[in-house]
Amino acid sequence: MINLPELYNRKTKAIEHENTYKVEGLVFLYRNFFGRALTFSVLNKHLVSKMYGRWVKSTRSVGQISGFVKHYDINTDEIREPLNSFPCFNDFFIRELKDGARPVDNTPAHLISPADSRLLVFDLSKNIDLPVKGYWYKLEDLVRDKKLVDDYAEGWCFIYRLAPSDYHRYAYIDDGSQQEVKILQGVLHSVNPIALSVTKSLLAKNYRELTLLRTDNFGDVLQLEVGALLVGKVIQHHRQSYSFKRGEEKGYFEFGGSTIIQLFKKGSVKPDSDIAEYSLKNIESLVKLGEKVGVGLS
């Protein structure tokens, strides 16, 4: 029996179960002996991800779009281009939305979500390791920098998990400037809870990109974009120093589910109470890009 992850819907204030695409395949890859052998020896390598990436960018993949839309009941009215205009599945996956489809909360003190996702928050002052779906992830393994660990050890960690059905473009959370993007090499695993539950320190193993964001209202924020199984690319619009605006698009993930991790220093932010409450129960909250998820304390 497959136990689908529980999610908290902030709008309905109800608990839902995640609608996972091709979940049987994930169960085979991460819970079956032969599937695990295949995943850890072959599938999580960048070459395989790159090959699959070529397929989803080919015209042969266009037939997947209609089934994907139906399975997830995706709102096609908010998509900028007509559904029949996409030449391949990847172009649909990285689709742009119409202006106003994701309104941004512009109240300076309001912390906003960078993406459509499922959100967990952790108080690092209580434990510097991150408990995610039954496993612990060391902060130092994630950022590979002892000084950064010391700087953020007493603050908050926000983990935004993007499911395949989500809008896969992500935005800056405030006005400010960034330093050069740093690449942390790794292998590629699914970030679905099925994979998280059986792969030790999975987020620390995945390919990720780290950016130091100097924000006007939340201080220095560390942001990591984490690649996932069958995702070969994290697309950044700006890899060098750059000044940005709240809600401006920072980049997007190509095909697959992915994760954004944000680290905040002590005394800089406080998550909304409902998100904090459900995170203590290890239940993710559904959030949209631009939606308020906390407040700044500075």
**Residue 79 is encoded by which pair of tokens?**
């998509």
Q: How many helices (H) and strands (E) does the chain have?
A: 10, 19
If phi over 0 gives left and psi between -120 and 50 gives alpha, with beta otherwise, what is residue 24? alpha
Catalytic residue among 116, 166, 174, 272: 116
Q: Which residue has the tokens 């942390």?
A: 184
Q: How far is CA 259 from the centre of its chain?
A: 2
Backbone dihedral angles phi then psi of residue 130, each to the nearest 5 degrees: -105, 115
Give the H or E element holding residue 224: strand 219-226
Backbone dihedral angles phi then psi of residue 229, each to the nearest 5 degrees: -50, 130
Known catalytic membership, residue 258: yes
Known catalytic membership, residue 58: no
Backbone dihedral angles phi then psi of residue 194, each to the nearest 5 degrees: -60, -45
**Residue 247 is encoded by which pair of tokens?**
């809600």
Catalytic residue among 49, 190, 258, 268: 258
Alpha-carbon gap, residue 115 to 173, rounded angstroms:
10
Contacts of 254 (CB under 8 A, 6+ apart): 53, 56, 90, 93, 94, 168, 231, 232, 233, 234, 235
Alpha-carbon gap, residue 204 to 137, rounded angstroms:
7
Which residues are bridge partners to 154 per DSSP? none
Give yes or no for a contact between 256 and 229, defined as CB atoms under 8 angstroms apart. Answer: yes
Alpha-carbon gap, residue 135 to 198, rounded angstroms:
8
Catalytic residue annotation: 116, 258
